[in-house]
Structure 1
Amino acid sequence: MERKTLAIVGCGKLASIIADALNANLLPEYQLIATYSRSIEKAQNIANKVNNESQKDSPCKACNSLEELLASEANYIIEAASPDSMRTLALPALKNGSSIVTLSIGAFADEEFYEEVKRTALANNARVHLVSGAIGGFDVMRTAALMGNCTATFDTEKGPNSLKRYSVYDESLQTEKRKVFEGNAKEAIALFPNSVNVSVAASLASVGPEKMKVSVTSTPGYIGDNHRIEVKNEQVHAVIDVYSSTAQIAGWSVVNTLRNIVSPIVF
């Protein structure tokens, strides 16, 4: 069996989970051939993880530039970096014939970019797989939205330390529980570019970034993230609650997506 080729952009903890899954033979249909990160050391670390007996004849290459990674012409490029990285990567990769598996779905809050990506993927016989990350229920969200007259909300609870890099943060959040944001998914990703990708994902699966109502609550001492999504129409009321103490679920959701791509039975 000829294995499908993978490349990874963004070589942090989530990429490490994917490399571990490859080594554990959870993705036997794939071979990692290229890695790229802002740090060549990080890219090399992930390459080293998979450069073992199973890949001795075709080792993974740590790339010094995105252009070098694209030149590998991998069947699938896994994006695990940031919405900015996704915006830089998407069109060149799709024009190259590579499909994309992405965690940085926040990039698609930009409707013009979203439509351009759709056109480019279609023109080049490629696809973009939006990974569920720290949430789930895309199937019921999409189904409810198709039925019409649908509304959706996304509420997330976080600890104050996870908000320190954003303008909403002040020291009082360390002792006071407070709702620090209310708006739509497009506004949320603009304010929290690396923390609410899942709200954009949920919006794209349902009512769209401008119609998805989003709130972010900061709770002193809170560990991890708790997301609640509610989708309603005249016949359906779906509630999806997902708590995760770490970001590992996002990496494993990439592994699940890759398994679904090649599986004869798809969940």
Structure 2
Amino acid sequence: MTGIGIIGYGAIARYVADALAQDGTPISAVLARPGREAAARAALGVEAVTDAAGLAAHARLVVDCAGHAGLSAHGAALLREGCEVVTLSLGALADDALLATLMSAAETGGGRMRLASGAIGALDALSAATVGGLSHVRYTGTKPPGGWAGSPAEDVLDLATLSEATAHFTGSARQAALSYPKNANVAAAVALAGIGFDATEVQLIADPTVTQNTHRVEAEGAFGRFDFTICGNALPDNPKSSALAAMSAVRAVQTRTTWMRF
């Protein structure tokens, strides 16, 4: 591997860059929108480029920290360049057209995509359970009302005056991922690890009594059943960004660059 790159320079990107530097594997370059090079350079302290070819010249392993838009804009081009792309934007893969484009690009250029676990755990157990067969998987995501600001939840609920926990979405993981591009990457991660976007049940809840984001996964199958819940903290620099999601991206790089790690 020669060089590590990052797409984006927000709170998660800054966390990833700092953690990798401390681990002895600093990033080499950052990809930013045209006109934002100076801001990206100042945020991460590395060379800033504006397209996939420029990033591929500096890095063969790229961490996507720019959300669905970043993966949609640059993922295929990076895969065609032969890069390995670690992404947190799993919800974007609910778009069949984008998924097909990414797969084709990987076949053409020899690139690979690695899916970071993001803000949820137990995906290893869920994935293993698919070998014997899963009969039911359900994901429930609960956030304080402010965590749903700017999402379709605002069309269903008055988040500012909510007095009790209230569901604002019930449906499939595909519907959740496409409707909530900034809020449903965990639902997508559960779907990809288990029985797919259309068979995975999802419920999203706004709860004024909580201060953390809570993610719950329930699964049943030939293995038995499990019920996993995690209450996650946000990054100090951005209350809408999961600390564990940023940590999972760092771990995905670490497992790629060391000879033995879980």
> 1:171, 1:159 → 2: CA distance?
13
Structure 2: which 5+ runs fail to align?
235-241
Whether the aligned pair in 2 keeps the contact of 1:184 and 1:209 (CA below 8 Å) is: yes
The question of 1:254 aligning with 2:249 is answered: yes
The question of 1:43 aligning with 2:29 is answered: no
Q: Which moved more, 1:144-153 or 1:169-178?
A: 169-178
Whether the aligned pair in 1 keeps the contact of 2:56 and 2:78 (CA below 8 Å) is: no
Whether the aligned pair in 2 keeps the contact of 1:152 and 1:206 (CA below 8 Å) is: yes
Whether the aligned pair in 2 keeps the contact of 1:101 and 1:131 (CA below 8 Å) is: yes
Aligned-pair CA distance for 1:79: 0.6
Secondary structure of residue in 1 paired with 2:139 = strand
> 2:135, 2:71 → 1: CA distance?
29
Match of 1:190 in 2: 178
> 2:179, 2:94 → 1: CA distance?
12
Aligned-pair CA distance for 1:67: 4.4
The question of 1:201 aligning with 2:189 is answered: yes
Whether the aligned pair in 1 keeps the contact of 2:171 and 2:202 (CA below 8 Å) is: yes
Match of 2:13 in 1: 15
Q: How many residues align?
A: 250
Q: Which moved more, 1:35-44 or 1:236-245?
A: 35-44
The question of 1:151 aligning with 2:136 is answered: yes
Structure 1: which 5+ runs fail to align?
49-59
Aligned-pair CA distance for 1:186: 0.8
Q: Counterparts in 2 of 1:128-139, with a 5 A limit?
A: 128-139=113-124
Tell me the TM-score normalised to structure 2 length: 0.88
Letter in 1 for 2:215: H
Aligned-pair CA distance for 1:221: 4.4
Q: Provide the aligned C-alpha RMSD in A.
A: 1.9
Tell me the TM-score normalised to structure 1 length: 0.86
Deviations 1:144-200 (A, max 9, x none): 112124321100111111212123223355323211110011110122111111110
Secondary structure of residue in 2 paired with 1:199 = helix
Q: Counterparts in 2 of 1:1-267, with a 5 A limit?
A: 4-24=2-22, 26=23, 28=24, 30-38=25-33, 39-48=36-45, 60-63=46-49, 65-67=50-52, 69-169=54-154, 170-171=157-158, 174-246=162-234, 247-267=242-262
Question: How many percent identity over aligned positions?
Answer: 24
Secondary structure of residue in 2 paired with 1:154 = strand
> 1:45, 1:238 → 2: CA distance?
45
Secondary structure of residue in 1 paired with 2:215 = strand
Whether the aligned pair in 2 keeps the contact of 1:4 and 1:31 (CA below 8 Å) is: no
> 2:219, 2:58 → 1: CA distance?
39
Whether the aligned pair in 2 keeps the contact of 1:73 and 1:97 (CA below 8 Å) is: no
Q: Which moved more, 1:127-136 or 1:239-248?
A: 239-248
> 1:221, 1:176 → 2: CA distance?
7
Whether the aligned pair in 1 keeps the contact of 2:7 and 2:31 (CA below 8 Å) is: yes
